[in-house]
Amino acid sequence: MTAAAKFNFKGIIATAFTPFRHDSVRSLNLEVIPQYAKYFQIKEFGAVLINGTYGEGMAMSTEERIQVAEAWSEAVKATKQHLMIQVGGTNLQDVKKLASHAQSIRANSILCLPELYYKPRTVEELIDYLKEVGEAAPEIPLFYYHSPDATGVNRELAFLEIEASILYVNMAEFFKKVDNKIPSLGGVKFAVADLDACYKALRAAANRFKIILANNYILPASISIGIDTFMPTSMNVAPDLVKKIVGLAETGFYSDAQVYQTQLAHAIDQIADINNGVAMAPMKYVTSLTAPINVGPTRKPLRTFDTPEDEAQIVLLSKHLMVS
């Protein structure tokens, strides 16, 4: 059985924020994680990603990431959710430690960002890097986290004049060359709003590997080309709206789905606009206001939204996240 076959989940994967306390060091608030898992279960999200971008994994120490992983591992025993743990974005030795730990606590899959400073320069370098990560957790599927806007590891835009430090690796080329070099490779989390690149990667994956779309703007269109697994960060603040979009598109009602997709995109853009175009920090605050759990503040350098003025503005905007 291939790693992709072992990853048999289809649908929406919840992207969990890491709960922090409102103290000077933003210490972990692990006590709310069981309630957080239950909330996702009530909203019918059968899988959860932790320690990812919205989970501020790269803002935590390795020990903190282990503590969060262990808390979620215990929580999903009750909710029976698929647990994916993001292990990358740090030095390779710690990445391997986190991958091995994820396997030891029976995580269902792992996700890996590349090294964020010494970036892979070619498909071959990326394959070599992921091969080592996979060897640290050979029994569970490994997914590569393709987020070039954040990592600079991409080649779709290689024709542009860019600084030499911004490096590019094309996912279609990656799938064509990886073959069986990474036995545990399950696929790629595709965090790019480029439907053409996504389709080319999907064709190259040739049903051997899974592509998980991580985007808030092209859900109906991605379904039309064959994507069946999604990781939109907006599911934290608009769970019912996201489910409505996916449900309509999957049953062929693309025009209706696009109406709700436009509503979601507009709402996310408005939320991002209050934070210089970055939606994550205000979305964490929206989650604490609208969900039955308080996920707390963000860590620096991210801005924390917690003033009465912030609340008034965000409450007004969050009305656009409801299914009408």
Is pLDDT at 124 greater than 60 in this prediction?
A: yes
Is pLDDT at 159 greater than 60 in this prediction?
A: no
% of the chain surpassing 90 pLDDT: 79
Residue 263: predicted pLDDT: 96
Is pLDDT at 23 greater than 60 in this prediction?
A: yes
Is pLDDT at 162 greater than 50 in this prediction?
A: no
105-124 average pLDDT score: 93
198-221 average pLDDT score: 96
Residue 117: predicted pLDDT: 86
Residue 231: predicted pLDDT: 98
Is pLDDT at 144 greater than 90 in this prediction?
A: yes
- What are the residue ranges spanned by the domains of the chain? 3-252
Consult the annotation and say whether 60 binds a ligand: no
Residue 160 — pLDDT band, cuts 50, 70, 90? very low
Residue 63: predicted pLDDT: 99
Is pLDDT at 165 greater than 60 in this prediction?
A: no
Question: Do 314 and 289 contact (CB within 8 A), yes or no?
Answer: yes
Is pLDDT at 158 greater than 50 in this prediction?
A: no
Residue 300 — pLDDT band, cuts 50, 70, 90? very high
Is pLDDT at 199 greater than 70 in this prediction?
A: yes
Please choose, from the candidates 304, 247, 291, 299, the residue with its C-alpha nearest in 3D space to the C-alpha of residue 58. Answer: 299
pLDDT, tens digit, 9 for 90 and up, residues 54-69: 999 999 999 999 999 9
Residue 154: predicted pLDDT: 55
pLDDT, tens digit, 9 for 90 and up, residues 78-107: 999 999 999 999 999 999 999 999 999 999
Is pLDDT at 166 greater than 60 in this prediction?
A: no
In the predicted model, what is the mean pLDDT of the chain?
Answer: 92
Is pLDDT at 167 greater than 50 in this prediction?
A: no
Active-site positions read: 145, 189
Residue 308 — pLDDT band, cuts 50, 70, 90? confident
CATH hierarchy code of domain 3-252? 3.20.20.70
Is pLDDT at 270 greater than 60 in this prediction?
A: yes
Residue 169: predicted pLDDT: 85
Residue 45: predicted pLDDT: 98
Is pLDDT at 291 greater than 70 in this prediction?
A: yes
